[in-house]
Amino acid sequence: MDIMQLDEQYIANTYHRFPVVFTKGKGSLIWDEAGKSYIDLGGGIAVNSFGIADPVWCEAVAGQLSCLQHVSNYYYTAPQTRLAALLCEKTGMKKVFFSNSGAEANECAIKAARKYGNDRSGGARNTIVTLKNSFHGRTLATLSATGQEALHQHFGPFLPGFIYADANDLEDMKEKLSDPAVCAVMMEMVQGEGGVNVLRKSFVRETARLAAEKDILVIVDEVQTGNGRCGSLYAYMQYDIEPDIVSTAKGLGGGLPLGATLFGPKTQGVLSAGMHGSTFGGNPVCAAGAVSVLERMNQPLMNAVMAKSKFILRALTGVPGVKSISGMGLMLGIETEAPPQDIAAACLKKGVLVLTAKDKVRLLPALNIPMELLEQAVDTLKQAILHP
């Protein structure tokens, strides 16, 4: 039987898949089972930071794989500590908890924020403000944190203790933060799944200032925006704020599952032994891959990300059928007149992979996508927009 039929028969049908089976890739090129090649502008949803089968990443992962694949968190391993040190050195954060996914990184952030608030108030401060249209994950806690009514269905009761403010609406945020039960505010600098909506600098800075005044923690969800995606190691670095907690995942492992929750000076001691844990979290193979990813996050790479971002912006601005373009760095959303799903399907036929988010075509290519492939893929996308 063919792969699509087997999938249909045996895999829980939670995904709308594109009708294509992939077998291999190299950098930003990927091949299907018929041998047709595609240029990848989706990056496995911002996961394959340096593309597919990148030689530096492969060497780091394979080297670790052949000496020690796992020992559990009862013991120390070098890749995990090395990765934590790198994350702290590069951000100024103080401590890291490792997990396996974005949802888990946020789950840890939520637990730590509640404990921080409860410790300081005898249990009276445990509400977290998140933003409408946000996305924080698929577990019950992170779904509850997600400010989208459409996702608060079927699985009730959802977790209490979350209130939702309008993104970029400072008055609404002020009002929400005035609730004495609030212990933290959590936000994505660019809402990814919500439609690639960029938060305004004034909104983020003022929110952070108000929060600090009230000893309310600032949690930045960098699961999608982080690890160079937006043209800086973490997107918050372009907002001149110092978060108390940063969560990240997707691009950190470069293609293997890894989540990280970073704690700042105020939160570094909140969790103690036995309060949280993960069997696989910080697995040495994933950590070794992530070390190699982070070691390559330097200014020249960030400059190249910004240059490619500008190229895409210039190439698509003013094209008939393009209504607007949003995003930062290589996390871009293109609002189109035709339904974005139609454009994604047309691109697939023409050999280019793009994603969608709400009413936009979403681009999350490898950070090191070669310029000539990017030019070719953007031209194909342009044709698909012109003739959907």
Kind of pairing, strands 322-328 and 331-336?
antiparallel
Instruction: Determine the interface stretch with ligand PLP among 72-80, 88-96, 100-108, 170-178 (rule: CB under 6 A).
Output: 100-108
Instruction: Determine the interface stretch with ligand PLP among 9-17, 79-87, 101-109, 153-161 (rule: CB under 6 A).
Output: 101-109
- Closer CB to ligand PLP, 118 or 139, in the complex: 139
Residue 376 CB, nearest distance to ligand PLP (Å)?
Answer: 27
- CB contact at 8 A, 166 and 172: yes
Residue 139 CB, nearest distance to ligand PLP (Å)?
Answer: 8
- Closer CB to ligand PLP, 54 or 221, in the complex: 221
Residue 138 CB, nearest distance to ligand PLP (Å)?
Answer: 6
Q: Is 331 near ligand PLP (CB under 6 A)?
A: no
Find residue 95's DSSP bridge partners.
263
Closest CB to ligand PLP belongs to which residue? 102
For residues 54 and 40, give the distance between their C-alpha atoms in angstroms, rounded to a whole number.
14
Residue 186 CB, nearest distance to ligand PLP (Å)?
Answer: 10
- Closer CB to ligand PLP, 233 or 385, in the complex: 233
- CB contact at 8 A, 379 and 42: no
- Closer CB to ligand PLP, 193 or 244, in the complex: 193
- Closer CB to ligand PLP, 103 or 185, in the complex: 103
Residue 379 CB, nearest distance to ligand PLP (Å)?
Answer: 28
First to last CA, the chain: 33
Residue 196 CB, nearest distance to ligand PLP (Å)?
Answer: 11
- Closer CB to ligand PLP, 189 or 288, in the complex: 189
Footprint of ligand PLP on 123-142 (CB under 6 A): 135-137
Find residue 260's DSSP bridge partners.
98, 248
Q: What sign does the CA torsion over 57, 58, 63, 66 have?
A: positive
Residue 45 CB, nearest distance to ligand PLP (Å)?
Answer: 7
Q: Is 103 near ligand PLP (CB under 6 A)?
A: yes
Footprint of ligand PLP on 245-304 (CB under 6 A): 249-250
Q: Is 167 near ligand PLP (CB under 6 A)?
A: no
Residue 104 CB, nearest distance to ligand PLP (Å)?
Answer: 7
Q: How many residues bind ligand PLP (CB under 6 A)?
A: 15
Pick from 90, 158, 101: which is nearest to 130 by CA?
158
Footprint of ligand PLP on 180-239 (CB under 6 A): 188, 192-193, 221, 223-224
- Closer CB to ligand PLP, 91 or 227, in the complex: 227
Residue 142 CB, nearest distance to ligand PLP (Å)?
Answer: 7
Q: Which amino acid is at 381?
A: L
Residue 247 CB, nearest distance to ligand PLP (Å)?
Answer: 7
Q: Is 101 near ligand PLP (CB under 6 A)?
A: yes
- Closer CB to ligand PLP, 145 or 384, in the complex: 145
For residues 108 and 85, give the distance between their C-alpha atoms in angstroms, rounded to a whole number.
19
Instruction: Determine the interface stretch with ligand PLP among 99-107, 121-129, 201-209, 320-328 (rule: CB under 6 A).
Output: 99-107
Residues in contact with ligand PLP by the rule CB under 6 A: 101-103, 106, 135-137, 188, 192-193, 221, 223-224, 249-250
